[in-house]
Structure 1
Amino acid sequence: MIQIGIDVGGTKIEAAALDANGQFLARVRSPNPGNYDGAIRTIGELIARAESEAGAMGSIGVGTPGSISPRDGLMRNSNATFLNGRAFREDLETALGRQVRMANDANCMALSEAVDGAAAGARSAFAVIVGTGVGGGLVVDGHIVEGANGMGGEWGHVPLPWMTAAEYPGPSCWCGQSGCLDMLISGTGFRQDHAARSGQMLDGAAIVEAARHGEADAVASLDAYVDRLGRALAMIANIVDPDVFVFGGGMSNVEAIYARLPAVIDRYSFGGDWKGQVVPARWGDSSGVRGAARLWPR
């Protein structure tokens, strides 16, 4: 049987069909309609299109922003807010008449990269998603670690570790806390930090390019970003100590961070003897939909 993966994004919903070797048999997408009933209808249409192109029916896995509460089965913490408080998996199964497996989109990315991506062969991998916000997912021995409360990997909503006096208490976060990584090491946080330093609101690529040419404020912004990101990763290393950190999201395209982060992680990790890997995702933007498909074993 083939595997169908669904990636529910903020602006689009994508479906892909994979064969037993992980090759794409079909890949289709539609705009996210931005409402609950429309999303369920769109997912059904995309599955039908993917299976038609692939010429077979498949198992169905769905990657979503947010997570399912293990207590009441309802969605929570999704930036696609129309999903929150809804029994999304059950309603989708009713609409499709088929069984569905569902996981957080960052967990799906981690699974994809652990199966046949940049972390293939590693016992443990932590997915680092740094884009508009910050997400994460942990896979150990080929299995997603969601935790007892379904909150595993939610490192975006812990405070920046080893804050300096100038950083404390950090900006207020939409979650209600202050100093969250989501506000400081996301692409958004990178841009805002540079704007506060230079008075210029530039996108991340422009800041990195300016730093490459030696522009002082841009160099300082990139240095501060790498140090904060390294501190955050060192905290994960001290708790989980994954073999591989795999990066996705817009900031994963900043090639300069990969050579610089290991030394920062090593400096802040307990004992100062960290020797893990920091690598970009092999499958890039395809990791989410591939990981969703892989929620069912081959």
Structure 2
Amino acid sequence: MIVSFDIGGSAIKGGIVRSQSDIRALDRRPTPKDNLAEFIAALRTVTDQAEEPFTRLSLSLAGVVDPDTRRIICANIPCINGRDLIADLEAEFSVPVMIANDADCFAMAEAEVGAGKGHRIVFGIILGTGVGGGLVSDGRLVNAAGGFAGEWGHGPAAALRAGHPPVELAHFKCGCGQSGCIDTVGGARGLERIHMTLHGQDLTSEDIIAAWQVGDPEAVRTIDVYIDLVASPLAVCVNMTGATIVPAGGGLANVKALMAELDVAVRNRILRQFDRPLVVQSQCTLEPGLIGASLLGLKAETQR
């Protein structure tokens, strides 16, 4: 038996895991952000609910494990940022610990039990507040030892002209320190930024989508530019990875019509031709981070 966690900046979700088909989610609790002892104590309130000894902790985290130093890069939970959290937790709990990025855990969940089941190469993408991704090949998470593979949202790749007809755009500053990242235009905040740039209207992504679905011309123009900006870099990722399915999660991915538009645009720009959808809505809509962390932990146990 293992204990798994999905840890975000606001909440910790835990689970007791005995097998792929036996993952019992537990109640959420707030994430202590500024005190390591309180953070570990919050995890212990979950492990204390295990009815028998557990053999591993497996965590999905809104951060990245540096593959060279094993230190955590996690801006929204300061008490663990820069720490070797694996060593900290192994010392506290006396069991092996593994940590993976939440987008990686999403990709793992989709590859094993979601939309990517049966595919060799699965590129899972997040279109939420921002943009993220994870890559699974032959059932193995590429970032199993940490790292940034699959982070297609970052790097100065956004086009400066997009839409039909094209409109001139500026590169927007990204939270990673660069400008022109897909993260600045591909998530919900990016959609809002595009709409403001084109029309001078400060609307929420939900309002923009709603207006687009009823044919509002300004929203239609915004979505046209959005799809053009996002489809090309995603197509490059598909070409580079050889992915045969791209499950999408996050708030924007919940809009079926939007994902259908993105799918068509991506399939028109890749080398391999598919006569079926490639970019699809995720199937693990409940607790994908927890499911992915659980599956990674179970795989690690079988390899001991």
Q: 1:17/1:152 Cα in 2 relative to 1: closer, same or farther (>3 Å)?
A: same
- In 2, the alpha carbon distance for the partners of 1:119 and 1:36 equals 38
- In 2, the alpha carbon distance for the partners of 1:184 and 1:127 equals 18
DSSP 3-state at the match of 1:13: strand
Q: Counterpart of 1:46? A: 46
Which runs of no fewer than 5 residues in structure 2 stay unpaired? none
- After TM superposition, list the pairs within 5 Å mapping 1:1-298 onto structure 2: 1=1, 3-37=2-36, 38-49=38-49, 51-52=50-51, 57=54, 59-76=56-73, 78-146=75-143, 150-160=147-157, 162-164=159-161, 166-167=167-168, 170-269=171-270, 271=271, 273-274=273-274, 277-296=278-297, 297=299
CA contact (8 A) 2:64 2:146 kept: no
Q: 1:223/1:242 Cα in 2 relative to 1: closer, same or farther (>3 Å)?
A: same
Deviation of 1:263 (Å):
2.3
Amino acid in the other structure paired with 2:24 = L
CA RMSD in angstroms, aligned pairs only: 2.3
DSSP 3-state at the match of 1:294: helix
Which range moves more in the overlay, 87-96 or 196-205?
196-205
CA contact (8 A) 1:59 1:293 kept: no
- In 2, the alpha carbon distance for the partners of 1:26 and 1:147 equals 23
- In 2, the alpha carbon distance for the partners of 1:14 and 1:122 equals 28
Q: TM-score, normalised by structure 2?
A: 0.88
DSSP 3-state at the match of 2:26: strand
Which range moves more in the overlay, 23-32 or 73-82?
73-82
Q: Deviations over 1:141-162 (max 9, x none)?
A: 0001128872211111123355
Deviation of 1:42 (Å):
0.9
DSSP 3-state at the match of 2:253: helix
Deviation of 1:233 (Å):
1.2
CA contact (8 A) 1:60 1:100 kept: yes
Aligned residues with identical type, % of pairs: 32
Q: TM-score, normalised by structure 1?
A: 0.90
Q: 1:99/1:286 Cα in 2 relative to 1: closer, same or farther (>3 Å)?
A: same
- In 2, the alpha carbon distance for the partners of 1:56 and 1:205 equals 46
